[in-house]
């Protein structure tokens, strides 16, 4: 494991070939500051060019909260400059959408408000049994506007409306039922290790280009999607990993991925 200095409440660690981004504000239930958002955005962006990295895990310090949203004790909880058209949370969500490294949420406790945005921007998610999930913004006179952009396709529309309009939370069992997370376990790290094991032995090139394809077709019409994907599958087959994977299949052995 290698560490980099804590930056604005975000702990950045490399654990083997996985980058861990931990919101390190446990005493404040891992609330988001503008510094945390900016540092997370920069870390995700910088990781894209590093072929040795295979995934990014996002979590919070301790066991009480994954992330409880914006820091409401701050006078500028939601913006630092009204003249700027791009906010820190919006920029982070854009960087996450452009990531070709899998983002995995390790939900170790309460996941509220902006924390739901972090959860939704990830490709996979595991949660501990005591985690709760909510959009309580209406209780303080605002609304989860930016979070809706990444959350609206994950959860049934009427349940999402209920969460937004009442501000009432979901249990981890409900989050699993509504497809907010992939798995719920008493031991969140055991679940994460199991999921990561199934991911990290697969082709890095296929995952990288596959995420690009999945994200690219999300807003396309049927014909646009078909035109894009029929060209992409040809490019998949030209990679070193595709050749190695098919050769290993024929030779009945484990593939040795190059990641190219």
230-258 pLDDT, tens digit each: 989 888 899 999 999 999 999 999 999 99
DSSP letters spanning 115-150? HHHHHHHSSEEEEETT-EEE-GGGGGT---HHHHHH
89 vs 93, 103, 111, CA distance in Å?
6, 16, 16
Q: What is the mean pLDDT of the chain?
A: 91
Q: What pLDDT is stored for residue 7 in this prediction?
A: 57
Encode pLDDT of 81-98 as tens digits: 666 666 788 999 999 999
Assess contact for 121 and 96: CB atoms under 8 A.
yes
User: How far apart, in whole angstroms, are the C-alpha atoms of residue 110 and residue 132?
Assistant: 5
Amino acid 241: pLDDT = 94
Return the structure tokens found at 26: 């446990």
**In whole angstroms, what separates CA 17 from the centre of its chain?**
17
Whole-number percent of the chain with pLDDT over 90 = 82
Looking at residue 151, its pLDDT comes to 94
User: Does the pLDDT at position 59 exceed 80?
Assistant: yes
Buried b (16+ CB within 10 A) or exposed e, 204-223: bbbbbbbbebeeebeeeeee
pLDDT band at 76; cut points 50, 70, 90: low
Give the gyration radius of the chain's Cα atoms.
19
Axis crossing angle, helix 240-251 with helix 204-216, rounded to the nearest 10: 120
Q: What is the model's pLDDT at position 5?
A: 45
Tokens read off for 45: 């962006």
């Amino acid at each position: 494991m290698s560490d980099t200095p804590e930056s604005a409440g975000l702990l950045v660690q490399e654990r083997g070939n996985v980058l861990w981004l931990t919101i390190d504000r446990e005493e404040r239930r891992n609330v988001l500051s503008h510094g945390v958002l900016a540092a997370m955005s920069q870390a995700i962006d910088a990781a894209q060019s590093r072929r040795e990295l295979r995934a990014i895990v996002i979590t919070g310090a301790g066991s009480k909260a994954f992330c409880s949203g914006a820091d409401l004790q701050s006078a500028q909880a939601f913006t630092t400059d009204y003249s700027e058209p791009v906010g820190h949370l919006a920029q982070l969500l854009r960087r996450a959408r452009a990531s070709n490294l899998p983002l995995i949420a390790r939900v170790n406790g309460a996941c509220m408000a902006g924390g739901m945005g972090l959860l939704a921007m990830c490709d996979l998610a595991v949660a501990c049994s005591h985690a709760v999930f909510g959009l309580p913004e209406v209780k303080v006179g605002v609304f989860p506007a930016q979070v809706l952009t990444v959350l609206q396709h994950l959860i049934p529309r009427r349940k999402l409306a209920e969460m937004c309009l009442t501000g009432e939370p979901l249990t981890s069992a409900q989050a699993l039922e509504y497809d907010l997370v992939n798995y719920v376990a008493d031991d969140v790290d055991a679940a994460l290790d199991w999921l990561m094991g199934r991911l990290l032995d697969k082709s890095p090139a296929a995952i990288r280009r596959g995420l690009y394809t999945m994200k690219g077709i999300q807003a396309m019409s049927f014909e646009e999607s078909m035109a894009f994907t029929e060209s992409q599958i040809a490019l998949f087959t030209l990679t070193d990993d595709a050749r190695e994977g098919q050769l290993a299949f024929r030779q009945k052995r484990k593939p040795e991925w190059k990641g190219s």
